[in-house]
A and B are shown apart, each in its own frame.
Chain A
Amino acid sequence: MSEMDDMDDGSGIIKKFMFLNRKAPHGTVYALEGLEVVLITAAFDQDVSMVFTDDGVYQLIKGVDTKGIEVKDFSRTYRALEGYDIEKLYVDQKSMDARGLTEEDLIVDVTVLSVDEMANLMAEQDVVISF
């Protein structure tokens, strides 16, 4: 059967990967490391989406100046994701509301999802990786 042949060496299988970002951009290394993992995953032609929830929504905030804490401002790197064909970016409505943020405060175009919509999207995934 051709379907079986295609699956022999595991190549050509596209899985749905969701990267869940829950932490503020700086103070821990999670956000930056998570972003690097996403950029590397992009090379393997998988179906990748990124979710920003809780303090993770701060990763996408506009107008960041990291000079005072002497670290690289990688917020602009989220704008490069499009070039890596990672275009599914979701944010959690409740997390945005709790922090007084709207889509206009963010550096990239996102889809805002309710808790229920987010739960459905997560249920569809093959792999969910949390940072």
Chain B
Amino acid sequence: MPMVNIAGKEVEVDEEGYLVDLSQWNEDIAKYMAVEEKVDLTDSHWEVVNFLREYYAEYQIAPAVRVLTKAIGKKLGPEKGNNKYLYELFPYGPAKQACKIAGLPKPTGCI
């Protein structure tokens, strides 16, 4: 699998650019992935990225977008737990892009 150099560290990614070993994840990697995805990281983006990392730590999976939306609504409120808000932050799919930035595998059932 391809290796990329991120902030002086060799990191292995899969053919779609997702981090292979999520224990390697750090903020530099998140920023690198964000550039790859053409996402300009703001606090709102970080909120979703950090939420995903917590979700993964608890359940050991990356959630499907429908599940992510619902879970964010529950935790951060309905103004954030909706497709419009999340797609504005991550235009190419909140589950897909935010997971990549968070260093998680591609969500199960993500088509």
Instruction: List residues of A whose CB falls within 8 A of some B CB.
Output: 36, 39-40, 42-43, 72-74, 76-77, 79-80, 83-84
Return the chain A residue nearest B59 by Cβ. Answer: A80
- Chain B residues with Cβ below 8 Å from A79 are 58-59
Asked, given contacts A36-B108, A42-B109, A43-B109, whether A74 binds B60 with beta carbons under 8 Å apart, the answer is yes
The secondary-structure label for the interface of chain A is helix
Number of interface residues of B (CB under 8 A): 12
A-B contact pairs, 27 of them (CB 8 A): A39-B61, A39-B64, A39-B108, A40-B108, A42-B64, A42-B109, A43-B64, A43-B66, A43-B109, A72-B60, A73-B60, A74-B60, A74-B61, A76-B58, A76-B59, A76-B60, A77-B61, A79-B58, A79-B59, A80-B58, A80-B61, A80-B63, A83-B63, A83-B70, A83-B71, A84-B64, A84-B67
Distance of B111 from chain A, by nearest CB (Å): 8
Contacts of B29-47 to chain A: CB distance below 8 A: none
- CB contacts (< 8 Å) of B60 on chain A: these are 72-74, 76-77
Chain A nearest CB from B67 CB (Å) reads 5
Contacts of A83 in B (CB 8 A): 63, 67, 70-71
Asked whether, in the complex, the Cβ of A40 is within 8 Å of the Cβ of B59, the reply is no
Distance between A50 CB and nearest chain B CB, rounded to angstroms: 15
- Chain B residues whose C-beta falls within 8 Å of the C-beta of A84 in the assembled complex: 64, 67
Nearest A-chain residue to B65, judged by Cβ: A43
- Min CB distance, B109 to chain A, in Å? 4
A43-B109, A79-B58 given. 16 additional CB < 8 A pairs?
Answer: A36-B109, A39-B61, A39-B108, A40-B108, A42-B64, A43-B64, A72-B60, A73-B60, A76-B60, A77-B60, A79-B59, A80-B58, A80-B63, A80-B67, A83-B63, A84-B64
Chain B residues with Cβ below 8 Å from A42 are: 64, 109
Give the CA-CA distance A99 to B108 in the complex, in Å: 32
* Closest A residue, CB atoms, query B107: A39
Q: Is A39 touching B71 in the complex (CB atoms < 8 A)?
A: no
List, in ascending order, chain A residues with CB within 8 A of B64's CB: 39, 42-43, 84
Task: Specify which chain A residues have a CB less than 8 angstroms from the CB of B66 in the assembled complex.
Answer: 43
Residues of B within 8 A of A39 (CB): 61, 64, 108-109
